[in-house]
Structure 1
Amino acid sequence: MSAMPIRGLLFDLDGTLAVTDPLHFQAWRATLLEHDVTLDEAGYQARVCGRQNPAIVRGFLPALPDAEAQALIARKEARFRAAATALTPLPGLGALLDLARARGLHLGLVTNAPRDNATHMLAALGLTDAFASIVLGDEVAIGKPDPTPYRVALETLRLAPAEAIAFEDSPSGIRSARGAGIATVGVLSTHPAEELVAAGAALVVPDFAAVPLRGYLAGLGVPS
């Protein structure tokens, strides 16, 4: 049982609110191929998933000048947005957000996605006005897996770490939330359960409709 009542829910974006990794993979593969870099799914999981764009580009093309790296990132993200026109929320997301609002909980979004992507995705999901706080990894001092983005979200929403629950699909995101002292639920959309648990997830679920999630939330004082 939490020592403090839960007052806020914090969500990652890509892979947590909707499955977007296949679209990101295709966009990265096409963009890196411009530089004769071949990306497969294993490489995507190991070197792209959960990382910020500048670090991704440095990992594949360390000698690329900064201006060219930024142009490459812009092309990649434009490809992603062009493909991400019809996104489907993970099952149970709408019901969970409705429950949170009914209970007066604060809702925050914490993501490494650039602002244009976040705005585009939230619109595609019908969630433009869903979150009172949106924290972007490239607009704070340092992004995930550093805990800074989650600390900023807590400060913005005036929450103590024990008053929040985070939802993340990647080990990088879980480490960020746990580093900020926030209990974290792992969503099984991109990584196996053992990786999420090893990163610190208190519970792993396939989606927001999973029965164990209801019990977990009730145990923290968030009745359904």
Structure 2
Amino acid sequence: MQQPQHPELDLGPVRALLLDADGNLFASEEPAFAASTGVTNDFLAWLGSDHHWEPADLQAAALGRNFRSLAGDLAAEQGVTVPDDEMETWVAREQDVVTRHLAATLVPDPAVSDALRLLADRWQLAVVSSSALGRLAACFTAADLDEVLPVADRFSAQDSLPAPTSKPDPAVYLLALERLGLAPHEAVAVEDAVSGARSAVGAGIPTVGNLVFVPEPERAERRRALLDAGVVAVVEDWDELVDLLGLQEERRTEVSA
């Protein structure tokens, strides 16, 4: 079997792949920010700001972070202290709007699910996300990924930690390592966003950047940014990740069967 050619990716001790969700396992970024923009603009108005985001600008500014993190930054910029109960109301509203939209929008992608099932034959798979567990549940069901990535193997920076946070804070990756009984070198993370890559790298985990759902005009810039964030390699899609991880022969056998 051909082995991965990247010198910094030693798969010998690896026991698990830790996978970001949004923009990595399904094309959820654009519909999520389209749904989130209205809530974000309402929150800005509540803060006393007259600024209004367009979905593309909001996505560029907040990619890889959850609404709680973004809202906290927006409030700080306005010099407004948001009471905890008020923040929870806004977070719940945004989560509800986005979750319902994603549940109605996402569809299964065989290129992703086939690669995941192949990878799951070799390594344990887990999800490490900034998104809330409720949103993840709707996405995984819509994308038909519940079987390969069940609820017990999902970690949320929003819901799984004692105090909610968001990538690039490495806390959610550190939690996943602890719960799975892994040292950092016993895992490989797969991330599409720079903030997610910084989170995984900050936890000491070898990380691969994945451009699978990044629009073509943005790929060269995203590749550079991911490499600057410390990833050991960048792939174009899940097929290339399978090749990088040395499972070409298994894929050829599966295709020919």
Could you say which TM-score interval applies, normalised by the shorter chain? 0.7 to 0.9
Aligned with residue 60 of structure 2, among 42, 45, 56: 45
Change (3 A) 1:59 1:209: same
Shift of 1:108: 0.6
Could you tell me which residue of structure 2 aligns to residue 183 of structure 1? Answer: 206
Match of 2:153 in 1: 133
Spell out, residue by residue over 1:98-126, the C-alpha distance to the aligned partner (whole angstroms, 9 max, x if none).
122322x1111101101210111111111
Q: Structure 1's 200 and 223: CA in aligned 2 closer, same or farther, altered over 3 A?
A: farther
Q: How far off its partner does 1:89 sit?
A: 5.1
Unaligned runs of at least 5 residues, structure 1: none
Distance of 2:206 and 2:238 partners within structure 1: 16
Match of 1:163 among 172, 175, 186: 186
* 1:217 is aligned to 2:245: yes
CA gap of 1:18–1:44, structure 2 versus 1, over 3 A, is same
The structure carrying a bigger helix percent of its residues is: 2
Name the structure 1 match of 2:115.
96
Take 1:86 and 1:202, find their aligned partners in 2: how far apart are those partners? 33
User: Does the 8 A contact of 1:171 with 1:195 survive in 2?
Assistant: yes
Q: Does the aligned pair in 1 maintain the 2:37–2:58 contact within 8 Å?
A: no
Deviation at 1:183, TM superposition (A): 1.4
SS across alignment from 2:154: strand
Aligned residues: 219
> Which segments of 5 or more consecutive residues in structure 2 lack a partner in the other structure?
1-8, 252-257
Which residue matches 2:231? 201
RMSD of Structure 2 on Structure 1 (CA): 2.5
Asked if structure 1 preserves the Cα contact closer than 8 Å seen for 2:108 and 2:144, the reply is no
Instruction: Measure the CA separation in 1 of the matches of 2:72 and 2:186.
Output: 37
SS at match of 1:185: strand
Contact kept? 1:186, 1:205, Cα under 8 Å: yes
User: What's the secondary structure of 2:182's corresponding residue?
Assistant: coil
Write the letter of the residue equivalent to 1:130. V
* 1:5 matches 2:21: no
Q: Deviations over 1:146-169 (max 9, x none)?
A: 222112212222222222111111
Check conservation: 1:91, 1:208, Cα contact below 8 A.
no
Distance 2:111 2:186 in 1: 22
2:106 matches 1:87: yes
Q: How does 1:18-33 map to 2 (within 5 A)?
A: 18-33=26-41
Residues 55, 3 of structure 1: alpha-carbon distance in 2 compared, 3 angstrom cutoff: closer
The CA distance in 2 between the partners of 1:110 and 1:27, in whole Å, is: 22
Does the CA-based 8 Å contact 1:9-1:107 persist in structure 2?
Answer: yes
Structure 1 residue 175 displacement after superposition:
0.9
TM-score (norm 2): 0.75
Q: What amino acid sits opposite 2:84 in the alignment?
A: D
SS in 2 for 1:94: helix
User: Rg bigger for which structure?
Assistant: 2
**Residue 57, structure 1, aligned to residue 62, structure 2:** no
Amino acid at match of 2:234: V
Query: Counterparts of 2:108 and 2:202 in 1: how far apart (Å)?
Result: 27
After superposition, the C-alpha distances for 1:188-207 in whole angstroms (9 at most, x for unaligned) are 23462111111112221222
The amino acid across from 1:73 in the alignment is V
Distance in structure 2 (CA, Å) of the matches to 1:8 and 1:149:
15
Greater shift, 112-121 or 138-147, is seen at 138-147
Q: CA deviation at 1:145?
A: 1.1
Identity, % of aligned positions:
32
Partner of 2:254: none
Cα distance in 2 between the residues matched to 1:120 and 1:88: 11
Matched-pair contact (CA < 8 Å) for 1:16–1:90: no
Q: Which residue does the alignment assign to 2:255?
A: none
- Cα contact 2:117–2:148 (8 A) shared by 1: no
Which residue in the other structure is 2:24 paired with?
16
